[in-house]
Amino acid sequence: MPPKAKFKAILARQKKFADREVLQELRDTGLEMRTDHEKVVREWAHRPTFKVETDESKYLKTVKIKVKGQHADIWTFVDKGTKPHEIAAKNVPFLKFQTGYSARTAPIAKHSVGTGQKFGAWVATAVVQHPGTEARKFSETILKELSPPIEDRIQAAVKRGLDKGK
């Protein structure tokens, strides 16, 4: 076999092994991230579920945590925050709520800083201007706090694959 053809075969073999290791590392990291997401919502009355999705093309491999279930929108509102908006009664004449609330979580994913309890006087009104919700940034914080970081994990996976492909 000519040296050039032999070199191409070696590279192809090493790429195959490296790709396999990177994909497995992405799957493992995704499972860890899903567990971290589940820890955030474990005490929520209306908690969503999470699914790990990996995708691979010739040049790109990704892992995503997908929010699923009946309460997926709640996760999005809390994680990403909401802008100020109007809430109006639809199927009832009035909205009824207490004026105070101690959020269980704080922005930048600080867990269990409040009680999650309502307090204060009861109010009944047809329309209310909600001030919006500050983003808790759970997903962003979980990704930042991966140990070791995702970049280090991928580099280690590539090295393992290259070593196996020798």
Mean pLDDT, the chain, rounded, equals: 89
Query: Using an 8 Å Cβ cutoff, are 154 and 22 in contact?
Result: yes
pLDDT given at position 67: 97
Q: Which residue has the higher pLDDT, 108 or 73?
A: 73
Q: Which residue has the higher pLDDT, 5 or 124?
A: 124
Contacts of 96 (CB under 8 A, 6+ apart): 122, 123, 124
Predicted TM-score (pTM) of the model is: 0.81
Q: What share of the chain has pLDDT > 90, as a percent? A: 63
Categorize the per-residue pLDDT at 10 as very low, low, confident or very high, splitting at 50, 70 and 90: confident
**Tokens representing residue 135 in the block:** 């983003």
pLDDT given at position 112: 61
Query: Using an 8 Å Cβ cutoff, are 139 and 41 in contact?
Result: no
**Tokens representing residue 107 in the block:** 């922005």
pLDDT above 60 (res 123): yes
For 92-116, what is each residue's pLDDT tens digit?
A: 999 999 988 888 777 775 556 667 7
Q: What share of the chain has pLDDT > 70, as a percent? A: 94
pLDDT given at position 166: 77
Dist CA 14 CA 59 (whole Å): 15
Q: CA angle, corner 43, sides to 41 and 45, nearest 5?
A: 90
Q: How far are the Cα atoms of 4, 34, 41, 85, 117 from residue 45, in angstroms, in the given order?
A: 62, 19, 9, 24, 12
